[in-house]
């Protein structure tokens, strides 16, 4: 991603396309985010926003706002994460971007989940899932199904949780998205009563994390195995 994004950035700079430069910055930020390099990610996302000051591109504007929210969420700064998610949601709502709305609702739901507001989290997540069921964004659909499973798990509804985790895996397998499978496998492992069964699932996730270079997730998985 970085190789092609930096090449694209050079081309956009040559033709002085601020919108193109912003798009390249956004992709560079995404690559750093996936590599758990959050300082670099947020720097490029903010630079991308700066390039959009005089542009009317709600899709890109909302995408960058949402991505900044992701960085703050992963950094544990939940108030800042919600602030940027809400800005992204306002943009998507004002421009009738239904599937962006669904993604952002899912992210807001996840922040509430991390803050242990399980009921509120489910409210946002189910609303998101219903929108996604009518479209073709299978990656987001799988991601939200995983979050709904996690909310049920934390509420003690183990069977419901396992059902959503398995549904998420089926969806993500259909688009071969390895990155988001990691979270689902980590959650599914926690539904098992037999520690050996849990460890087997986590080891499968570790091999995937090594393959895609997801350092932070790899660290979390090793910690779960040790526990």
Q: For position 192, what pLDDT does the model report?
A: 93
Q: For position 104, what pLDDT does the model report?
A: 94
Q: For position 100, what pLDDT does the model report?
A: 87
Q: For position 190, what pLDDT does the model report?
A: 92
Q: For position 135, what pLDDT does the model report?
A: 79
User: How far apart are the C-alpha atoms of 28 and 226, rounded to whole Å?
Assistant: 33
| pLDDT, mean of each 10-residue run, the chain (227 residues) | 95 96 97 92 97 92 96 95 96 90 93 93 95 86 93 92 96 90 94 94 95 89 94
Q: For position 25, what pLDDT does the model report?
A: 98
Name the region of 117 (left: φ>0; alpha: ψ -120 to 50; beta: rest).
Answer: beta
Q: For position 105, what pLDDT does the model report?
A: 95
Q: Terminus-to-terminus CA distance in the chain, angstroms? A: 34
Q: For position 35, what pLDDT does the model report?
A: 86
User: How far apart are the C-alpha atoms of 188 and 165, rounded to whole Å?
Assistant: 6
pLDDT tens per residue, range 4-22? 999 999 999 999 999 999 9
Contact 8, 20 (CB under 8 A): yes
CA quadruple 45, 88, 121, 151: dihedral sign = negative
Q: For position 216, what pLDDT does the model report?
A: 85
Q: For position 137, what pLDDT does the model report?
A: 84
DSSP 140-182: HHHHHHHHHHHHHHHTT-HHHHHHHHHHHHHHHHHTT-HHHHH
Q: For position 153, what pLDDT does the model report?
A: 92
């Amino acid at each position: 991603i970085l190789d092609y994004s930096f090449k694209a950035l050079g081309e956009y700079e040559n033709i002085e396309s601020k919108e193109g430069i912003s798009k390249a910055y956004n992709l560079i930020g995404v690559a750093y985010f996936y590599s758990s390099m959050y300082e670099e990610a947020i720097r490029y996302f903010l630079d991308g926003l700066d390039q959009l000051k005089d542009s009317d591109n709600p899709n890109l504007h909302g995408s960058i706002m949402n991505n900044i929210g992701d960085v703050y969420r992963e950094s544990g700064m939940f108030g800042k994460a919600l602030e940027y998610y809400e800005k992204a949601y306002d943009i998507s709502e004002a421009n009738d971007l239904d599937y962006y709305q669904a993604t952002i609702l899912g992210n807001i739901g996840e922040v509430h989940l991390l803050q242990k507001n399980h009921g509120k989290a489910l409210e946002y997540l189910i609303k998101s899932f219903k929108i996604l069921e009518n479209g073709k964004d299978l990656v987001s659909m799988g991601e939200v199904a995983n979050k709904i499973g996690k909310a049920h798990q934390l509420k003690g509804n183990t069977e419901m949780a396992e059902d959503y985790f398995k549904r998420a895996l089926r969806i993500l397998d259909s688009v071969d998205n390895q990155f988001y499978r990691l979270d689902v496998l980590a959650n599914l492992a926690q539904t098992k009563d037999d520690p050996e069964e849990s460890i087997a699932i986590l080891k499968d996730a570790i091999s995937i994390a090594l393959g895609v270079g997801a350092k932070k997730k790899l660290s979390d998985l090793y910690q779960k195995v040790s526990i």
